[in-house]
Every structure is written in structure tokens, then in C-alpha cells.
Amino acid sequence: MITTYKLSHKSLNSLRKHGLSEDAIRSLESLEERVFDSADTFLERVYALPLAGEFRQKESLILRQAKGYFRLDRMIPNRTVREWVEALLFALIVAGIVRTYVIAPFKIPSGSMIPTIQIGDHIFASMYSYGAWLPFTDDKLLAQPVKRGDIVIFPYPRDPSIDYIKRTVGLPGETLEIREDQVFINGEPLDEPYAYFEGKQRLALGGDRISNFGPITIPEDRLFVMGDNRYNSADSRFWGFLDAQQVMGKGRFIYWHHDPRESLFSGYQLDRVFGTLQ
């Protein structure tokens, strides 16, 4: 780790608040924004200034206020350029925090959630709905359970580099069965106004498993998820249960739509913008 020493306007103000005299502050201002590679070279220049006796009494305080790590001013001497780079880095850090813990954008490339979500929809998902990941752990702060009907974002179990979006149909501990496209939960039919059933004749995927499945009991901490487009969705009927801990966020609303199959000048559906996902 690169350690450097520099007196900035902020550090000089802090030294003033900690009791350095105004004469001492004015003396130190001659070193403001100069970067030193080591404590020895920094102190050598400080002790060469007037009021060296006062500086020796406050040596540890001055070193603490001047010490820094990975300073851009070491690599970018130009102050204007450096301030722009610092602003950009700060914006990137804030954006990363917001995307991880608050809200994140996702682009929908497939039709597995038609008609709720169309190919070309760009959606925002809330990343706090089921709790916030604690860094470097598998735990969540203020964890909340996924509810039936929630549209969830998660890493595809067979390839975690791909983000998937599906609807939660079955919850932990429930018995789920599909008979002729009708979902039953614990023996009771599930009302699904969002389900879409066109195109069955075009698909051989899974054979009867498209319309008939189970019965199965969903294990604890697992979910059964399906696409709304029931005849064109690779979901829990084919790759199994979803670990509830892997759910990253909840789909909230559409912020843009452009069908990637269309040209740059067509394929826009502005009436879908700001539509909520239900």
C-alpha cells in the first residue's frame, strides 16, 4: 500500500481546531498540496519552517492529519485533472453502492415473462426488498421472505453469470402440482391472472412437463419459480428449485422499451414506460 504525506486545506483546518496557533498554520500553508513519499522527508520540511518547536510538540497530530493512502496527486500532478478523476471515482463508487443495495437496472432479452414483461423492456429492480447482503458473507441484514407472486431477479442456477427473472409460484414447505396447466398448491387451485398459454404446439421442451408436473414438496429455503409465458420458459419445472438466499431483487417497474429485433429508429413502445410489474 502506498503511503504519502500531504497537508490539504482540510487537514490544516483540522490542525487549527486541534490547537495549532494561527502563526503555525500560516507557516504550514507553504507546504499545502505538496506530496511527500515518507514521514521523514515530510517532517524534515516541516522542521525547517519557523515555529519548529511547536511542530515538534504536535508531531504525531501533524503526521496523522497529513497521512494518506493511494493518493491520486502522486499519479496526477495536475490539480484540475485530478479533481475530475476524483469526482468520477466518487460517482462510480456511489453508483456501485446504489446498484448493489438500492435499485438496479436490467434488460429483458427473452419472452419468458410475456405478457407481463416484453422482449426489450428495461426494468428497475429494488435490491433491498429481501434484505441487504453483508459484505464478504452469505448473510442478509433485515432479511425478508419472498412472497408468492413476487417477480424475482436471481443468478441462473446452471450459469450464475446470467441473471434470470421469474415469478414466485411455490413457497417453502408447500406441495405443488400442475395438472393440465393449472397450478395446485396444497391441493387448492392457484389463481394466476398473469399466466399466458399461447404457442404450446410449437414446443417440445419438456414434453408433458410443460402442462403436467409433480406433485412435489418444496424444501425449506427453496422456491418454485416459473415464467408467466408457460409454454416458453426454462424454469423450476426443468432445472429445479431456487435457493431463496440467491434472490437478489424484486422487479418493480419498466423505465424504457426498445425491441432489440427492431432497428434504431423503430421498436419503441413508450406506453410501456413507467409501467409497474405485478
Measured CA to CA, the distance from residue 203 to residue 152 in angstroms comes to 25
Q: What is the dihedral angle through the alpha carbons of 157, 160, 165, 170, rounded to the nearest 10 degrees? A: 30
pLDDT of residue 70 exceeding 60: no
In the chain, % of residues over pLDDT 70: 86
Contact 210, 197 (CB under 8 A): no
pLDDT of residue 218 exceeding 90: yes
Mean pLDDT of 14-35: 90
Give the SS3 label for residue 123. Answer: strand
- What pTM value is reported for the model? 0.67
The DSSP bridge pattern shows strands 103-107 and 242-243 to be: unpaired
Q: Where are the strands (E) in 81-131, listed by range?
A: 103-107, 121-126
Domains and CATH numbers, the chain: 3-75 (no CATH), 102-272 (2.10.109.10)
pLDDT tier for residue 258 given thresholds of 50, 70 and 90: confident
Which has the minimum average pLDDT: 60-64, 96-100, 143-147, 210-214?
Answer: 96-100
Measured CA to CA, the distance from residue 240 to residue 98 in angstroms comes to 31
Mean pLDDT of 176-185: 95
The DSSP bridge pattern shows strands 121-126 and 132-133 to be: unpaired
- Average pLDDT over the chain reads 85
Q: What is the pLDDT of residue 87?
A: 73
pLDDT of residue 204 exceeding 50: no
Q: What is the dihedral angle through the alpha carbons of 57, 60, 64, 67, rounded to the nearest 10 degrees? A: 100
